[in-house]
């Protein structure tokens, strides 16, 4: 059958290189937030991730001849799960194959082949986008949820986050422009250090919360003084004030929700990846994305792009797959503070 697998540019080794280069570029461009869950290649479709609730400890002081104190063992819980498979395919119909194998010119043939490769590259990028979406969801919400194409995943890591790292301001919230937001951030910063013996690497919040900070009276007075009569500061002034208190870098999440149309779904759906009312403290080592093996990739981890031909019906298929799942392995390195009612996130 004269499908697409006999075309030199669509051979496995060439498509493999396409997938590798496209994904490498996607990794280079991905935002720093999802970088807190880097890929970890694994070779088993089942994972056992240790969820460690560790406490900062120091060696005890002992007298000569006395026995040393016993160090508390870390509390360890295991989350057992199965790696989720990602991917999709694009079908070239009989009519499209006729055009491909009966081109009017060499340039038309090249254009058709280039279009097929571009479609494959786009599917690789969309697969990485799906992976990054689960990473962001895991860090921002502590949960990973998926329900499409007869696949339902619902895993909650928040039970393992220390209770003192799950703060909810129920009445005296950041909606009040007089609220001492600096005092809150310093208190949570100190709590994070008390738990982990180290600072968070970054603090993340939504653009809606940033808008509240920009007109918070405590911030404005710190940046401009009380005599200026100003009611708002700019983002550089805000960052300067917070940095002056020795807080970790404060970064903004521009997209708290993602509207996507999963392969095979009839409609688009909205997925929350970061609650708009939440401040998140996070540190390197919080977890990893377990990038697992697939049969299509010769039992190796990674995103694989492949082509194959069918006789019944006559079709050629371009297909991309990957397997993996984000795992929060050190939940102590997350601290969530919900600082307003979610519907109150207005600038």
Tens-place pLDDT, residues 200-235: 999 999 999 999 999 999 999 999 887 777 889 999
Is there a domain that residue 128 lies in? yes
Is there a domain that residue 312 lies in? yes
Prediction pTM value: 0.86
Is there a domain that residue 279 lies in? no
What average pLDDT does the segment 286-306 reach? 91
Q: How far apart are CA 207 and CA 277, in angstroms?
A: 10
Give the pLDDT score at 344: 46
Give the length of the chain: 347
Is there a domain that residue 219 lies in? no
Is there a domain that residue 237 lies in? no
Candidate from 14-18, 89-93, 135-139, 258-262 with smallest mean pLDDT: 258-262
pLDDT digits (tens, 9 = 90+) for 2-39: 678 888 888 989 999 999 999 988 888 778 999 999 99
Q: How far apart are CA 306 and CA 315, in angstroms?
A: 14
CATH code at 37?
3.15.30.10
Is there a domain that residue 223 lies in? no
Is there a domain that residue 218 lies in? no
Is there a contact between 267 and 191 (Cβ–Cβ < 8 Å)? no
Is there a contact between 237 and 120 (Cβ–Cβ < 8 Å)? no
What average pLDDT does the segment 134-138 reach? 93
Computed over every residue of the chain, the mean pLDDT equals 85
Number of domains in the chain: 1
Structural domain span for residue 316: 8-54+78-158+286-332
Give the pLDDT score at 124: 93
Is there a domain that residue 255 lies in? no
């Amino acid at each position: 059958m004269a499908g697409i697998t006999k075309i030199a540019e669509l051979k496995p080794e060439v498509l493999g290189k396409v997938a590798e280069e496209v994904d490498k570029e996607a990794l280079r461009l991905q935002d720093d937030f999802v970088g807190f869950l880097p890929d970890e290649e694994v070779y088993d479709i089942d994972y056992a991730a240790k969820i460690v609730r560790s406490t900062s400890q120091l060696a005890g002081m002992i007298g000569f001849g006395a026995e040393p104190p016993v160090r508390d063992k870390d509390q360890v819980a295991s989350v057992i799960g199965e790696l989720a498979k990602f991917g999709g395919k694009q079908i070239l119909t009989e009519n499209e194959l006729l055009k491909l194998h009966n081109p009017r010119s060499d340039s038309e043939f090249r254009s058709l082949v280039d279009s097929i490769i571009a479609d494959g590259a786009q599917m690789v990028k969309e697969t990485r986008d799906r992976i990054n979406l689960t990473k962001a969801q895991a860090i921002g919400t502590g949960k990973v949820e998926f329900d499409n194409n007869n696949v339902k995943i619902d895993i909650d890591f928040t039970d393992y986050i220390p209770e003192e790292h799950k703060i909810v301001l129920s009445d005296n919230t950041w909606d009040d422009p007089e609220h001492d937001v600096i005092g809150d951030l310093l208190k949570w910063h100190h709590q994070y250090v008390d738990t982990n013996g180290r600072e968070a690497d970054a603090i993340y919040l939504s653009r809606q919360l940033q808008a509240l900070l920009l007109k918070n009276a405590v911030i404005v007075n710190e940046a401009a003084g009380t005599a200026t009569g100003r009611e708002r500061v700019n983002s550089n002034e805000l960052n300067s004030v917070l940095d002056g208190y020795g807080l970790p870098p404060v970064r903004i999440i521009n997209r708290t929700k993602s509207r996507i149309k999963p392969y095979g779904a009839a409609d688009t759906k909205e997925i929350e990846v970061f609650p708009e009312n939440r401040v998140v403290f996070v540190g390197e080592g919080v977890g990893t994305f377990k990038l697992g093996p697939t049969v299509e990739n010769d039992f190796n981890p990674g995103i694989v792009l492949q082509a194959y031909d069918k006789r019944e019906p006559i079709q050629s298929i371009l297909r991309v797959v990957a397997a993996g799942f984000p795992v929060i392995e050190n939940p102590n390195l997350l601290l969530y503070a919900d600082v307003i009612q979610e519907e109150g996130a207005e600038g």
